[in-house]
């Protein structure tokens, strides 16, 4: 998918279409997850520190990711891919390999191009977004082809042309060649894929070791025999947050750990899984990182159980000096939940004090208590942080009078909302509200295409080619 998160935000928000959009963590330590093509013209790119992005593109729209929306769109795309073949290997929310040969949907270059074009049209019709398709005889080359096709294109690497196609490309094009390996190869006089092929396998083994050197030599010639694997079972589910300022108050740290535990369980349940081992990650003020884990008596998806386990793990961690990052994860995943007395007791305690009724005032009180120890102005800063967490920029809201909208920003006790919906012909109007306005509440994202066309009978069966030409390959990447 093309600039997936940013493109989804532009499709959902008429006022942002054609404008630079940056999605990621908005704090001083945040990083860019995705930048729209308009933002990329200013030099903004993924994994860039958000502070640097703001200097390069000060007038861009900066939004917090909405993973509920992205997963919904991803599911629509993956469903289309599943109609092409039983072998679909998702790499992330916005990309996957598809074995067209296994699906019987393509047996030569002409039919592969035809199905690729149909796929792009189907993605556009169902999601309102564009995707780029790469077609080739291997996963490595299909991935390279899709990058060349971006944005909103299709690229086929013809069988037999792999070696010539790769030759002029930089060594970083090949999988497994990162900055350190590229620098090592550069010092040996190798900067292009052709240099690797001509160096020979023995020289690459001498430089990089047997396994890496031999694999790189094969890839330099375009050989990649990795199959498309339909099942990529997750081994863990985790969430983490990096904080704008180091957390010093122990109560605040515990509150954040419990919030992360709840988010982790939401993801766990969303995947239809449970887990047996709870993991806590703490990065301290000096960048030292500690992990602690506790294995339960059986797998669970009970938020109270995970919260309490994470809190117990926190008790064994020294947070003196401050905390930069916290994370909570669950491993040992299973497809079922084993109920036990501990889980039932924790559930009873949660039922006695419903979280929805007490979480917000308790959270605010703890934040104010922690801020009181940090000196003048800290309480106001804590209040602003709480407002930003409650009303993240770009997220959906619903007003009793004005309807559905999204948060443009918050500060000084106010939240600004722009009321518009996907598909609107013109941008909506922005209105300010108090952050505690009872008529305003968070909402779920609206679908980008309210009534998508029916693709249940796609793709239509087509006669097999008798040309004798080989299939273009076993992989396609949207």
**Cis before 459 (ω within 30):** yes
In 3D space, the residue among 205, 177, 175, 203 whose CA is nearest the CA of residue 191 turns out to be 177
**Cα 14 versus chain centre, distance:** 23
Please name the helix (run of DSSP H) or strand (run of DSSP E) that holds residue 408, with its range, or none: strand 403-411
| Cβ atoms of 418 and 13 closer than 8 Å | yes
Beta bridge partners of 95: 92
Q: In this structure, how many other beta carbons lie within 10 angstroms of the beta carbon of residue 81?
A: 22
In 3D space, the residue among 16, 3, 128, 137 whose CA is nearest the CA of residue 393 turns out to be 16
| Cβ atoms of 159 and 137 closer than 8 Å | yes
Q: Biggest alpha carbon distance in the chain?
A: 80
Quick check: is 95 catalytic?
A: yes
CA–CA separation, 420 and 199 (whole Å): 58
| Cβ atoms of 87 and 74 closer than 8 Å | no
- The Cβ-side half-sphere exposure at 458, using a 13 Å CA radius, reads 18
Q: How many residues does the chain have?
A: 478
Please name the helix (run of DSSP H) or strand (run of DSSP E) that holds residue 12, with its range, or none: helix 4-12
Query: Which residue has 């505690």 as its token pair?
Result: 436
Q: Which of 9, 38, 89, 95 is catalytic?
A: 95
CB within 8 A of 392, min separation 6: which ones?
26, 64, 407
CA–CA separation, 172 and 186 (whole Å): 11
CA–CA separation, 296 and 342 (whole Å): 10
Catalytic residue ranges: 95
């Amino acid at each position: 998918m093309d600039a997936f998160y940013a493109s989804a935000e532009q499709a959902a928000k008429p006022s942002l279409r054609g404008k630079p959009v940056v999605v990621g963590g908005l704090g001083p330590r945040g990083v860019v997850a995705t930048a729209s093509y308009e933002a990329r013209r200013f030099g903004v790119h993924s994994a860039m520190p958000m502070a640097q992005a703001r200097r390069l593109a000060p007038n861009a729209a900066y939004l917090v990711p909405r993973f509920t929306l992205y997963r919904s769109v991803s599911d629509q795309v993956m469903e289309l891919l599943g109609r092409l073949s039983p072998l679909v290997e998702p790499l992330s929310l916005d990309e996957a390999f598809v074995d067209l040969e296994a699906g019987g949907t393509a047996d030569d270059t002409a039919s592969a191009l035809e199905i690729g074009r149909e796929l792009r049209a189907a993605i556009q019709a169902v999601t309102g977004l564009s995707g780029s398709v790469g077609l080739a005889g291997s996963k490595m080359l299909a991935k390279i082809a899709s990058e060349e096709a971006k944005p909103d294109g299709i690229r086929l690497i013809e069988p037999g042309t792999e070696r010539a196609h790769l030759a002029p490309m930089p060594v970083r094009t090949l999988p497994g060649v990162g900055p350190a390996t590229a620098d090592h190869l550069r010092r040996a006089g190798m900067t292009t894929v052709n240099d690797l092929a001509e160096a020979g396998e023995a020289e690459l083994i001498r430089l990089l070791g047997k396994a890496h050197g031999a694999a790189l030599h094969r890839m330099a010639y375009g050989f990649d025999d990795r199959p498309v694997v339909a099942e990529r079972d997750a081994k863990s589910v985790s969430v983490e947050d990096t904080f704008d300022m180091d957390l010093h108050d122990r109560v605040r740290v515990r509150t954040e750990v419990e919030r992360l535990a709840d988010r982790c369980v939401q993801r766990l349940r969303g995947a239809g899984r449970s887990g047996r081992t709870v993991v806590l990650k703490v990065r301290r003020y000096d960048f030292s990182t500690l992990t602690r884990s506790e294995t339960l008596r059986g797998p669970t998806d009970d938020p109270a159980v995970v919260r309490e386990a994470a809190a117990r793990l926190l008790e064994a961690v020294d947070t003196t000096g401050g905390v930069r990052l916290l994370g909570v994860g669950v491993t040992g995943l299973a497809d079922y939940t084993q109920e036990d007395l501990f889980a039932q007791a924790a559930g009873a305690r949660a039922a006695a004090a419903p979280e929805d009724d007490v979480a917000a005032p308790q959270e605010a009180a703890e934040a104010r208590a922690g801020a009181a120890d940090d000196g003048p102005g800290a309480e106001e800063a804590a209040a602003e942080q709480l407002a930003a967490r409650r009303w993240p920029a770009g997220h959906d809201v619903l007003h009793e009078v004005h309807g559905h909208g999204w948060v443009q920003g918050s500060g000084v006790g106010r939240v600004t909302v722009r009321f518009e919906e996907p598909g609107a012909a013109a941008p909506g109007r922005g209105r300010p509200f108090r952050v505690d306005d009872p008529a305003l509440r968070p909402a779920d994202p609206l679908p980008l295409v309210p009534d998508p066309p029916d693709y249940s009978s796609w793709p239509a069966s087509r006669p097999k080619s008798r040309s004798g030409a080989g299939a273009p390959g076993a992989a396609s990447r949207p």
